[in-house]
Amino acid sequence: MKLIKLSLASCALLAFAVACNNTQPAQNANAGASPKAAANSATPAPAATPDELAAAAGDYARSCSNCHKADGTGGPWKDEETGKTVKVPSLREHGLKDPDSELAKQIAEGGDEMPPFKSRLDKGRIDNLVRYIRREFHGRTTTATGAATPAQPSH
CA distances from 104 to 23, 52, 76 (A): 45, 16, 23
Q: Which is nearer to ligand HEC, 51 or 62 (CB)?
A: 62
- Report d(CA 41, CA 37) in Å as an integer: 7
CA distances from 102 to 23, 33, 39, 97, 138 (A): 48, 36, 23, 10, 15
Q: Which is nearer to ligand HEC, 14 or 102 (CB)?
A: 102
Minimum CB separation of residue 99 from ligand HEC in Å reads 10
Q: Which is nearer to ligand HEC, 49 or 84 (CB)?
A: 84
Name all contacts of 101-105 with Cβ < 8 Å and 24+ positions apart.
101/146, 103/130, 103/133, 104/130
Minimum CB separation of residue 65 from ligand HEC in Å reads 8
Q: Which is nearer to ligand HEC, 45 or 62 (CB)?
A: 62
The number of beta carbons lying within 10 Å of the beta carbon of residue 64 is 22
Q: Which residues contact ligand HEC (rule: CB under 6 A)?
A: 63-64, 66-68, 77, 86, 88-89, 91, 94-95, 98, 103, 106-107, 111-115, 117, 129, 133
Minimum CB separation of residue 141 from ligand HEC in Å reads 17
Q: Which is nearer to ligand HEC, 113 or 122 (CB)?
A: 113
* Angle, CA 87 vertex, CA 138 and CA 103 arms, to 5°: 40
Minimum CB separation of residue 21 from ligand HEC in Å reads 46
Minimum CB separation of residue 145 from ligand HEC in Å reads 19
Q: Are 96 and 151 in contact (CB under 8 A)?
A: yes
